[in-house]
């Protein structure tokens, strides 16, 4: 009878369905209740009424205190699910050659700082995986405390930290600090654990710095205000939809279709007309149109890299290569800046004429100006090229180079394993990788194995570029150490996007349930929902084993509850007996005292 209850809780977890209702205590009545008692009890009722006789008999005939559907039992079962999920993941991690940890923290809706911890590894089936492990409540964000929490949790989970070869965090000082940050403290204990600053954060920081010029910053601020205006006002949003259908009914996207909506709403609603008028005046300026097109042009180059950094099969070497391709293209644009900006300027002139019936103009200049660009130019094209285009382009190239040149020391050494760099002259660079194989094989043997690896690709015209394809082509029996080093390269952290996804799961869960849930209750439920690919309990070769383990642990929990009830009952009976004896002694004493008084013949 417990199996249907367990399966129902697992089903709710997989489908991200909250369990509780307004009245979910007491025995479960199979008739429809007057008040909603939660989806969990409703599913049990539906299951019992439509064919599950074992569950129906259990709910009808069980004692009030042994139905095993109370909130506390639900929490116990959810906690067991979390333990089984973690155990399955940790087993896979410990079977892998190496792994990296990915961490980041966020403030949840209850005001508690939650540290999300994920792992990246290559499993026994040569599949690159990033799995969520847990949320940890954090109250002290110093590097020392975070290091202690992370290492203690790894030891508690049973991870083999001797296989730790990478750390992936954001650029905050407490995480990435060179002396007192988490990465430096962990690397002092585990020297192989290389720190890699999240590539997505690096790209974002490079863009933020490059697009911080005054005109571009103002342009992006105006665009944000326009988006919020249409998003937060029903009339404005409806006007935007009608404008889209009227102007471009075949598509859902356009560049400046919102401008017509601004013109339509500036005279319709007094509450937003002033805001619409001010935004329309800002959009009509030449500087805004030029800045918008410059941003569009630059961001179009980084969009593929942004998508790649969110893919599950990304690797550090490819990410850095793609960043170098972007830098190379941007430098080409810089060398041909006249032709590049001429195209942007012509498009801006066309848009300005089409939407506002105006020409691109130079803003008013004076002999002395402290708060805006005051270049002396002969044409608007030259002015905006100097004041907007070149500063953004130069800054973007500079910051991309500075941000993505990190970890070049380890990459330049380990990239010699890739087929395109597998050359006999690079054999000396293997010395830089000694830390990864010194406890397994001598440097001379690894050098011989590397020369055989170079021979494999010497006359091969079709060489794979994807790290997992290269790993598949590396026979682990003939090239055991090369295979291990390739797994190290694949396991090195790239970005913390998996951690960011766990934050989204945490936010969804806490919005649907009580915001003040304790972190110890949140953790197993998040694990159950977030690890859907693990929580079916039908994992190909371990379905029966996991099911038996699940029933065994639950039976142990039930036995503990029964033993506790017996102990409480015994203690209660013992206390009642003691109280009875005390009462009897008092009565005997009062009787003896009364006899003594009677013997004294006191009237």
Structural domains counted in the chain: 5
* Residue where one domain finishes, among candidates 425, 459, 491: 491
Query: Which H or E run includes 74?
Result: helix 71-95
Over 80: is that where the pLDDT of 372 sits? no
DSSP 5-61: HHHHHHHHHHTT-----SS--SPPPSSPPSS---HHHHHHHHHHHTT-HHHHHHHHH
Q: Which residue has the higher pLDDT, 564 or 339?
A: 339
Strands annotated E in 67-124: 99-107, 113-122
pLDDT in tens, 546-600: 556 666 666 676 677 667 666 666 666 666 666 666 666 767 766 776 776 666 6
If we measure between CA atoms, which residue out of 129, 175, 134 comes closest to residue 157? 134
Q: Identify the CATH number of the domain in which residue 125 sits.
A: 3.30.420
- What pLDDT is stored for residue 267 in this prediction? 60
At 602, is the pLDDT very low, low, confident or very high (cuts 50, 70, 90)? very low
Tell me the residue range of the domain where 562 lies. Answer: 539-602
* Residue where one domain finishes, among candidates 23, 45, 69: 69
Whether 413 is covered by a domain: the verdict is yes
Over 60: is that where the pLDDT of 524 sits? no
Share of the chain above pLDDT 70, in %: 79
**436, burial (CB in 10 Å: exposed 0-12, middle 13-18, buried 19+):** buried
Integer Cα distance of 50 and 48 in angstroms:
6
Q: What is the pTM of this model?
A: 0.76
- What pLDDT is stored for residue 264 in this prediction? 64
Whether 467 is covered by a domain: the verdict is yes
Least confident range of 243-257, 416-430, 448-462 = 243-257
CA angle 454, 456, 459 (to 5 degrees): 95
Whether 372 is covered by a domain: the verdict is no
Least confident range of 191-205, 272-286, 287-301, 578-592 = 578-592
pLDDT in tens, 386-436: 888 999 999 999 999 998 888 787 888 888 899 988 888 888 888 888 888
Distances (CA, A) of 334 to 37, 327, 394, 587: 66, 10, 8, 105
331 and 394 co-located in one domain: yes
- Mean pLDDT, the chain, rounded, equals 81
391 and 302 co-located in one domain: yes
pLDDT in tens, 185-209: 999 999 999 999 999 999 999 998 8
- What pLDDT is stored for residue 159 in this prediction? 93
Beta bridge partners of 102: 118, 168
Least confident range of 250-264, 450-464, 509-523 = 509-523
- What pLDDT is stored for residue 260 in this prediction? 54
398 and 523 co-located in one domain: no
398 and 344 co-located in one domain: yes
Do 185 and 178 meet the contact criterion of CB atoms below 8 Å apart? no
Over 60: is that where the pLDDT of 467 sits? yes
Whether 75 is covered by a domain: the verdict is no
Integer Cα distance of 229 and 272 in angstroms:
8
pLDDT in tens, 7-21: 898 888 888 788 877
pLDDT in tens, 141-167: 899 999 999 999 999 999 999 999 999
- How many C-beta atoms surround the C-beta of residue 373 within 10 A? 19
* Residue where one domain finishes, among candidates 432, 460, 491: 491
381 and 524 co-located in one domain: no
pLDDT in tens, 77-118: 888 888 888 899 999 999 999 999 999 998 888 788 899 999
Over 90: is that where the pLDDT of 335 sits? yes
- What pLDDT is stored for residue 55 in this prediction? 87
Name the residue with tokens 């990304």. 314
Integer Cα distance of 271 and 326 in angstroms:
45
516 and 561 co-located in one domain: no
Whether 54 is covered by a domain: the verdict is yes
34 and 101 co-located in one domain: no
Over 70: is that where the pLDDT of 256 sits? no
Whether 77 is covered by a domain: the verdict is no
187 and 220 co-located in one domain: no
Task: Please give the structure tokens belonging to residue 496.
Answer: 């913390």
Contacts of residue 231, defined as CB under 8 A and 6 or more positions apart, other chains included, come to 237
Q: Choose the most confident range, by mean pLDDT, from 24-38, 234-248, 290-304, 372-386.
A: 290-304
Whether 76 is covered by a domain: the verdict is no
Q: Choose the most confident range, by mean pLDDT, from 255-259, 263-267, 281-285.
A: 281-285
357 and 452 co-located in one domain: no
Whether 238 is covered by a domain: the verdict is yes
Over 60: is that where the pLDDT of 294 sits? yes
101 and 131 co-located in one domain: yes
394 and 266 co-located in one domain: yes
At 26, is the pLDDT very low, low, confident or very high (cuts 50, 70, 90)? confident
**Distance of alpha carbon 560 from the chain centroid:** 37
531 and 549 co-located in one domain: no
């Amino acid at each position: 009878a417990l199996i249907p209850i367990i399966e129902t809780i697992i089903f709710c977890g997989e489908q991200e369905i909250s369990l509780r209702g307004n009245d979910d205590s007491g025995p479960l009545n199979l008739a429809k209740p007057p008040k909603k008692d939660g989806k969990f009890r409703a599913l049990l009722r539906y299951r019992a009424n439509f064919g599950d006789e074992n569950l129906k008999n259990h709910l009808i005939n069980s004692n009030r205190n042994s139905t095993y559907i109370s909130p506390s039992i639900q929490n116990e079962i959810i906690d067991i699910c979390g333990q089984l999920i973690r155990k399955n993941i940790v087993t896979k991690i410990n079977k892998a050659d190496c792994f990296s940890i990915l961490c980041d923290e966020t403030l949840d809706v209850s005001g508690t700082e939650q540290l999300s911890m994920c792992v990246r590894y290559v499993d026994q089936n040569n599949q690159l995986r990033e799995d969520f492990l847990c949320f940890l409540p954090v109250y002290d964000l110093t590097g020392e405390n975070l290091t202690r929490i992370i290492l203690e949790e790894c030891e508690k989970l049973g991870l083999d930290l001797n296989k730790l070869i990478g750390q992936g965090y954001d650029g905050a000082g407490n995480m990435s600090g060179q002396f007192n940050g988490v990465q430096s403290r962990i690397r002092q204990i585990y020297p192989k654990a290389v720190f890699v600053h999240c590539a997505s954060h690096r790209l974002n920081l490079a863009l933020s710095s490059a697009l911080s010029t005054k005109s571009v910053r103002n342009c992006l601020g105006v665009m944000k205000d326009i988006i919020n205006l249409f998003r937060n006002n029903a009339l404005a949003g409806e006007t935007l939809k009608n404008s889209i259908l009227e102007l471009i009914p075949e598509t859902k996207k356009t560049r400046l279709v919102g401008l017509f909506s601004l013109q339509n709403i500036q005279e319709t609603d007094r509450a937003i007309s002033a805001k619409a008028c001010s935004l329309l005046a800002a959009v009509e300026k030449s500087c805004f149109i030029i800045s918008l097109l410059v941003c569009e042009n630059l961001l179009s180059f980084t969009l593929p890299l942004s998508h790649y950094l969110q893919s599950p099969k990304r690797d550090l070497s490819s990410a850095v290569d793609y960043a170098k391709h972007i830098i190379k293209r941007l430098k080409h644009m810089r060398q041909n800046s006249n032709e590049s900006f001429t195209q942007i300027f012509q498009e801006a002139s066309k848009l300005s004429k089409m939407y506002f019936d105006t020409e691109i103009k130079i803003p008013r200049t004076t002999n002395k100006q402290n708060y805006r660009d005051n270049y002396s130019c002969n044409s608007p094209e030259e002015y905006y090229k100097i004041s907007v285009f070149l500063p953004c382009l130069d800054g973007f190239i500079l910051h991309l180079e500075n941000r993505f040149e990190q970890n070049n020391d380890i990459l330049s050494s380990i990239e010699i394993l890739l087929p395109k760099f597998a050359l006999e002259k690079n054999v000396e660079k293997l010395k830089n990788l000694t830390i990864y194989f010194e406890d397994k094989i001598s440097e001379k043997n690894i050098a011989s194995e590397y020369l055989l690896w170079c021979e494999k690709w010497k006359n091969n015209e079709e060489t794979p570029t994807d790290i997992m394809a290269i790993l598949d082509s590396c026979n682990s029996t003939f090239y055991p150490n090369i295979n291990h080093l390739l797994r190290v390269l694949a396991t090195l952290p790239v970005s913390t996007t998996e951690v960011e996804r766990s934050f989204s799961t945490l936010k969804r869960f806490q919005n649907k349930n009580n915001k003040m849930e304790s972190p110890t209750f949140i953790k197993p439920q998040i694990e159950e929902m977030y690890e859907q690919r693990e929580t079916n309990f039908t994992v190909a070769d371990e379905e029966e084993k996991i099911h038996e383990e699940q029933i065994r642990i639950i039976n142990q929990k039930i036995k503990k509850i029964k033993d506790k009830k017996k102990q409480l009952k015994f203690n209660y009976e013992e206390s009642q007996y003691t109280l009875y004896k005390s009462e009897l002694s008092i009565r005997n004493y009062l009787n003896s005292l009364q006899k003594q008084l009677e013997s004294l013949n006191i009237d």
